[in-house]
């Protein structure tokens, strides 16, 4: 069964990864590229506080060349992430089927996909807004820990609401509250430290666009991934 | 006597294999699958090495994984 789950997840990830890559190439990546133009403009910015940001323009480490190579590695990263999400979703679907008699179908898959969207994108993004390059942010480790906390507690909240009996569903409230009681790490200075006021206005506009673009791209990605996972799980995985 | 013991052992083994171990092994496979997924996601989204960061940079931003 494990083998067929891996193969199914690879197939689903291929399609969902390509859907995401297409939406991303049209609506998300152009915003990243546009923001990067403002990233390394002079000594004023390079001496500004940062947390060891090592971007593709960093000479010290290998990075994919602009154009085909960069897009290729982005598509590969999308595919690998989609594989990770899909196989987690498959494990959850089969667990729910075995323990709670929850049938598997493409439609149920879409609902699972929406739960994944909420868990892995919406709730973490409410605390840590999707960022474009050159935006100030709190130290990376703290943000990564909070992201993991938000994902785990949101997953547990959805599990409590759907699968726990009666009054025990109240546990969901606790799980929803935890990441906000802890609080998402915020930088001392918000926004952009670019010395040119006009550039800051442009970057703020790009940032707003980026939030909408990623919300739509990830929503489409998760609906596709969920629906396909439900369909493929029913059709191809026996056990 | 020996035959009957052997038969009863074989029967009880068959019983065990036919009931909960099947489900236990299935749960184990689910857990293994979920862990595999998490390891892959951590690698693409969180691995600190510059090379991995640079390769996955645009995907990390798109998924709103904490980056930089």
Instruction: Give the domain ranges of chain A.
Output: 1-41+68-132+193-239, 138-186
Please list the residues that pair with A147 across neighbouring strands. Answer: none
- What pLDDT does residue A238 have? 83
pLDDT tens digits, residue range B20-55?
676 677 889 999 999 999 999 999 999 999 999 999
CA–CA gap between residue A153 and residue A164 (Å, rounded): 15
B22 contacts in A (CB within 8 Å)?
A: none
Among left, alpha and beta (phi > 0; psi -120 to 50; other), residue A163 is alpha
Q: Which residue of A has its CA nearest to B68?
A: A53
pLDDT at A93: 96
Chain A window 172-201: which residues touch B at a Cβ cutoff of 8 Å? none
pLDDT at residue A40 in the model = 60
- The angle subtended at Cα A107 by Cα A13 and Cα B61, nearest 5°, is 40
The alpha carbon dihedral of A165, A170, A176, A181 has a sign of negative
Asked if A73 has any chain B CB less than 8 Å from its own CB, the reply is yes
Q: In a mutagenesis test of the B interface, which of A71, A77, A78, A142 is the best target, namely the one with the most B β-carbons within 10 Å?
A: A77
pLDDT beyond 90 at B9: no
- pLDDT score of B19: 55
Probe site for chain A from B31, B33, B51, B56 (most A CB atoms < 10 A): B33
Q: What is the ipTM of this complex?
A: 0.88
Exposed/middle/buried for B32, CB within 10 Å: 0-12, 13-18, 19+?
A: middle
Cβ neighbours of A73 in B, within 8 Å: 55-56
- pLDDT per residue as tens, chain A (239 positions): 899 999 999 999 999 999 999 999 999 999 999 999 888 654 444 444 444 444 444 557 899 999 999 999 999 999 999 999 999 999 999 999 999 999 999 999 999 999 999 999 999 999 999 999 988 889 999 999 999 999 999 999 999 999 999 999 999 999 999 999 999 999 887 788 888 888 889 999 999 999 999 999 999 999 999 999 999 999 998 87
Query: Between chains, do A74 and B58 touch, taking CB under 8 Å as contact?
Result: yes
The helix (H) or strand (E) run that includes residue A78 is helix A68-100
Residue in A with minimal Cα distance to B32: A2
- Separation in Å, CA B22 to CA A237, A239, B18, B28, B31: 16, 10, 7, 10, 14
* CA separation for the pair A140, B67 (Å, rounded): 7
């Amino acid at each position: 069964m494990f083998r067929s789950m891996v193969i199914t997840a690879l197939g689903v990830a291929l399609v969902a990864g390509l859907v995401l890559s297409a939406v991303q190439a049209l609506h998300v990546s152009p915003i990243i590229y546009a923001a990067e133009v403002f990233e390394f403009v002079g000594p004023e910015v390079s001496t500004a506080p940062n947390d060891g940001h090592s971007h593709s323009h960093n000479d010290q480490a290998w990075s994919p060349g602009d154009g085909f190579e960069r897009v290729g590695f982005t598509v590969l990263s999308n595919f690998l992430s989609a594989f990770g999400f899909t196989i987690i979703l498959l494990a959850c679907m089969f667990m729910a089927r075995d323990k709670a008699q929850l049938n598997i179908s493409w439609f149920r898959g879409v609902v699972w996909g929406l739960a994944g969207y909420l868990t892995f994108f919406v709730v973490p993004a409410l605390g840590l807004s999707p960022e474009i390059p050159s935006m100030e942010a709190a130290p990376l480790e703290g943000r990564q820990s909070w992201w993991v906390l938000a994902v785990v507690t949101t997953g547990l909240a959805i599990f409590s609401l759907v699968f726990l009996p009666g009054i025990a569903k109240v546990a969901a409230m606790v799980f929803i509250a935890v990441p906000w009681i802890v609080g998402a790490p915020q930088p001392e200075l918000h926004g952009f430290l670019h010395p040119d006021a006009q550039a800051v206005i442009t970057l703020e506009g790009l940032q707003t666009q980026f939030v909408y673009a990623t919300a739509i791209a990830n929503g489409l990605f998760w609906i596709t991934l969920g629906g396909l996972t439900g369909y493929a799980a029913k059709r191809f995985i026996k056990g | 006597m020996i035959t009957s013991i052997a038969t009863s052992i074989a029967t009880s083994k068959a019983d065990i294999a036919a009931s909960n171990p099947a489900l236990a092994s299935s749960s184990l496979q689910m857990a293994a699958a979920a862990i595999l997924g998490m390891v892959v996601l951590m690698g693409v989204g969180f691995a600190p090495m510059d090379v991995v960061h640079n390769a996955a940079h645009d995907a990390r931003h798109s998924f709103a994984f904490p980056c930089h």
